Chain A
Amino acid sequence: MSAPVLSGLLQDEPPRFPAFQVCGLAGTSFKHEHLAAILHEGRQRGFFEVHAENYMGSGGPPHRALEAIRCRRPLSIHGVCMSIGGPGPLDKAHLARFRSLVERYEPALVSEHLAWSTHKTTYFNDLLPMPYTEATLDRVCDHINQVQDAIWRPLLLENPSTYLAFRDSTMRETDFIRRVTERTGCGLLLDINNVFVSATNHGFSALEYLSEFPLARVGEIHLAGHAEQADDEGDRLLIDSHDGPVADAVWQLYEIVVARCGPIPTLVEWDSKIPRWPVLKAEAAAAQVILDRHHQDVHDAAA
């Protein structure tokens, strides 16, 4: 890289990015191994989502890659470890890093999880399930307000996938989520694979869950692959593994949601056993076909 290019990259003022719209688009997780292929294909539709924590280093190649992506496509920043559902206070340093990242990259979408990952001093690196009670509702709302105050915009909160439930929960997940959105004004990230995984694991109906979910608040949809194991009784236990293509049953639920809600920005997550770029791109293209069909429906209805 020549010196003038370098000095352009290393200027003090953060670069300003185009204000892309994400409405009606499908996208994928952004993985560094796909960067060259993505840059090579030039102008394309679609957006990218990154895990916020991977870009919380001070500098270096991760930021060069993210700048390159953000210059070309809409970006979604997806936090994984804020521990919004945790019993302790939010990590102030982590919240400050999250805010800086949102300020720096001006993403089209910003989201986090209804889960916890830190307890006392230990970070467990997993999205853990939480009890749904009046006390946890108060604290989740307090945490979301803190995040929204920091980033100056509504956060999209993602519904979890779980394998177990807390005995002391006093309300259903959909009621809990509805009350969180009402009290904090946050939006929702509806992960349809999580709905299917949890429905299978807990023996409830995914369609019923969706009918109780505050769909009007959904600003983004996640689709992903899951793996299959067995529980203690030998019944199917689904694992939210993000390591394969989206399951047919999840595509069917997705069609139903898009038909009901219109073309909500949709992201295909793939975080493990990452395939070559054309494979991941094809998953997003399949979602885009469904979005475009319903985009047309919306236009036809308006005409």
Chain B
Amino acid sequence: MLPRDQESLSYTAFSVALLDPEQPIPSVVAGPEGKASAKRYSVYRNNVTAGLIEALAEVYPAVQRLTGVEFFRAMARFHIRAMPPTSPLLFEYGRDLPAFIESYEYAQGLPWLADVARIERAWLDAYHAADVVPLSAEALVAISPDRLADTMFVVHPATRIVRSRFAAVTIFAANRNEGAGGQIDAGTPEDALITRPIDDVVVRHLPQGGAVFFQSLISGQSLGEAAALALESSASFDIATNIAGMIQAGVFTAVTRGAV
């Protein structure tokens, strides 16, 4: 067993210094013919950190645009060291970044940044979600009126809802792509609905009560119950508008009761 243990130690020695610049260059590796290993080992260190920063920048382009590249890279470096990836699928990486942003000292002046990050994370999840045909308007029309209130829905795998105390949807939309950003009142609360009806991910700003309505339906409540809760949360909630929006956005894939 000894050789195996020894060899496992070699890998550990090589890897501990990859994400920790305070660690000395591992002595288990060497350059050829007695050459030094510092710059050579740095290639791996740089590859690992630069590659993971790039991975986070690809998940969170609007966050990077909002903070500027230098700020983003510094924040990403802290995050990578605190929470390196555990999965080889880099499009799954960075789920903890929104919470990290909330606690990140230098981001305290950007209180809406974490919610913009949550929308971007939801965007990528929707992008990679399973392909399922969304519920059609015809399927909804086919439900007899007396069963409509009891109808429950199956959520589409791409559907996400992000609620924000800030104008996160407007800030996201203004910074996701290159273009001129206007003045935004960041203090207006906004809820986002993220879906992928066919191939394109769509981020919508939900009307008042919409988030409660969809979250209730997603959690398995009936159409009647969800509408009542939405009205309770917002007197201006309009069920017709929300149902039309729900079909157009492809929030659900099927009905589970009331259709028969």
Could you list which residues of chain A lie within 8 angstroms of chain B, going by C-beta atoms? 1, 6-7, 9-10, 53-54, 56-64, 80-81, 83, 86-87, 91, 94, 116-126, 128-131, 133-136, 163-168, 201-204, 229-233, 235, 237, 239
Given A6-B198, A122-B85, A128-B44, CB of A164 within 8 Å of CB of B39: no
Q: Is the CB of A119 within 8 A of B130?
A: no
Q: Is the CB of A59 within 8 A of B88?
A: no
Q: Is the C-beta of B100 less than 8 angstroms from some C-beta in chain A? A: no
- Can you name the residue of chain B whose Cβ is closest to the Cβ of A233? B35
Q: What are the 6 A-B residue pairs with the smallest beta carbon separation, nearest first?
A: A57-B128, A81-B88, A59-B131, A232-B36, A58-B130, A164-B29
Please name all residues of chain A whose beta carbon is closer than 8 Å to the beta carbon of B8 when the two chains form the complex: 87
Q: Is the CB of A135 within 8 A of B3?
A: yes
Please name all residues of chain B whose beta carbon is closer than 8 Å to the beta carbon of A135 when the two chains form the complex: 3-4, 7
Q: Is the CB of B84 within 8 A of A122?
A: yes
Please name all residues of chain B whose beta carbon is closer than 8 Å to the beta carbon of A237 when the two chains form the complex: 39-40, 43
User: Which stretch from B48-56, B67-75, B147-155 is at the chain A interface?
Assistant: B48-56
Q: Is the CB of B32 within 8 A of A59?
A: no
Given A61-B199, A123-B88, A237-B39, CB of A167 within 8 Å of CB of B132: no
Q: Is the CB of A165 within 8 A of B30?
A: yes
Please name all residues of chain A whose beta carbon is closer than 8 Å to the beta carbon of B44 when the two chains form the complex: 126, 128, 163-164
Please name all residues of chain A whose beta carbon is closer than 8 Å to the beta carbon of B41 when the two chains form the complex: 163-164
Interface centre among B86, B91, B132, B199 (most CB of A within 10 A): B199
Q: Is the CB of A121 within 8 A of B86?
A: yes
Interface string of B11-42 (1 = CB under 8 A from A): 11011001100000001111111011111110
Q: Is the C-beta of B188 less than 8 angstroms from some C-beta in chain A? A: no
Given A125-B52, A164-B40, A202-B32, CB of A134 within 8 Å of CB of B88: no
Q: Is the CB of A239 within 8 A of B43?
A: yes
Please name all residues of chain B whose beta carbon is closer than 8 Å to the beta carbon of A1 when the two chains form the complex: 198-199
Given A128-B44, A239-B43, CB of A116 within 8 Å of CB of B31: no
Given A1-B198, A86-B11, A168-B28, CB of A232 within 8 Å of CB of B127: no
- Supply 29 A–B pairs (Cβ within 8 Å), ascending by A: A10-B132, A58-B128, A60-B128, A60-B129, A60-B196, A64-B199, A80-B88, A81-B88, A86-B11, A87-B8, A119-B12, A121-B86, A123-B86, A123-B88, A124-B15, A125-B85, A126-B47, A126-B48, A129-B14, A131-B28, A163-B44, A164-B40, A168-B6, A201-B40, A231-B36, A231-B39, A232-B35, A232-B37, A237-B40
Q: Is the C-beta of B133 less than 8 angstroms from some C-beta in chain A? A: yes
Q: Is the CB of B28 within 8 A of A125?
A: no
* Nearest CB in chain A: distance from B94 CB, A: 12
Given contacts A60-B126, A60-B158, 16 further A-B contacts (CB under 8 A): A58-B130, A59-B130, A60-B129, A60-B196, A118-B88, A119-B11, A133-B3, A135-B4, A164-B37, A165-B30, A166-B14, A167-B28, A168-B6, A168-B28, A231-B36, A237-B39
Interface centre among A53, A61, A201 (most CB of B within 10 A): A61
- Can you name the residue of chain B whose Cβ is closest to the Cβ of A130? B11
Q: Is the C-beta of B142 less than 8 angstroms from some C-beta in chain A? A: no
- Can you name the residue of chain B whose Cβ is closest to the Cβ of A234? B39
Q: Is the CB of B85 within 8 A of A123?
A: yes
Given A53-B90, A126-B51, A129-B29, CB of A232 within 8 Å of CB of B11: no
**Interface size grouping (class) on chain B:** 35 or more
Q: Given the complex of chains A and B, what is the CA–CA distance between A6 and B6 in angstroms?
A: 56
* Nearest CB in chain B: distance from A203 CB, A: 5
Given A237-B40, A237-B43, CB of A61 within 8 Å of CB of B127: yes
Q: Is the CB of A116 within 8 A of B11?
A: yes
Q: Is the C-beta of B244 less than 8 angstroms from some C-beta in chain A? A: no
Please name all residues of chain B whose beta carbon is closer than 8 Å to the beta carbon of A136 when the two chains form the complex: 7
- Can you name the residue of chain B whose Cβ is closest to the Cβ of A86? B11
Q: Is the CB of A122 within 8 A of B133?
A: no
Q: Given the complex of chains A and B, what is the CA–CA distance between A230 and B196 in angstroms?
A: 47
* Nearest CB in chain B: distance from A172 CB, A: 13
Q: Is the C-beta of B10 less than 8 angstroms from some C-beta in chain A? A: yes
Given A164-B41, A232-B36, CB of A7 within 8 Å of CB of B89: no
- Can you name the residue of chain A whose Cβ is closest to the Cβ of B134? A6
Given A165-B30, A168-B28, A237-B43, CB of A133 within 8 Å of CB of B84: no
Interface string of B113-130 (1 = CB under 8 A from A): 000000000000011111
Q: Given the complex of chains A and B, what is the CA–CA distance between A94 and B87 in angstroms?
A: 9
Please name all residues of chain B whose beta carbon is closer than 8 Å to the beta carbon of A168 when the two chains form the complex: 6-7, 10, 28
* Nearest CB in chain B: distance from A106 CB, A: 19
Please name all residues of chain A whose beta carbon is closer than 8 Å to the beta carbon of B86 when the two chains form the complex: 121-123
Q: Is the C-beta of B220 less than 8 angstroms from some C-beta in chain A? A: no
Q: Is the CB of A233 within 8 A of B29?
A: no
Please name all residues of chain A whose beta carbon is closer than 8 Å to the beta carbon of B85 when the two chains form the complex: 122-123, 125
